[in-house]
Amino acid sequence: MRRRLTAFAAARGWEPYHTPKNLAAALSVEASELLEIFQWLTPEQSAGIMADPEAAFRVEDEVADVLSYLLQLCEALDIDPLVALAAKIERNETRFPPAAGPHAESAGGTSSS
């Protein structure tokens, strides 16, 4: 996919604009467009959004945009996203060991840092 995205941009002469700064900014914009879909939904509505074909299309389209810019950013910075993710999970496993007790499962989450 990364090669395909690079070829797509190259065929259109977009490489000069695909700097890490610009790609990070575009990623942020696309993530905000994804968030906008969920902005005023209740937790229950957001959990069931994929049942509505029109909403599901919008979500999938924005997820694709986010992933596209993330992969292009990784390509520009020579980052293997799967290696980076595996390393992050390992760090989080150390930072956040499994909790013990009756509320252990509700206390979890992912780190944003």
* pLDDT digit string (tens) for the chain, length 113 residues: 888 999 999 999 999 999 999 999 999 999 999 999 999 999 999 999 999 999 999 999 999 999 999 999 999 999 999 999 999 999 999 999 998 766 665 555 555 56
C-alpha distances in Å from residue 71, one per residue of 42, 88, 99: 31, 17, 34
Strand runs (DSSP E) across 9-97, as ranges? none
38: buried, middle or exposed (CB in 10 Å: 19+, 13-18, 0-12)? Answer: middle
pLDDT of residue 107: 54
pLDDT of residue 108: 56
pLDDT of residue 106: 57
Let me know: does 112 contact 55? Beta carbons within 8 Å. no
SS3 content of the chain, % helix, strand, coil (to 5): 75, 0, 25
Let me know: does 18 contact 71? Beta carbons within 8 Å. no
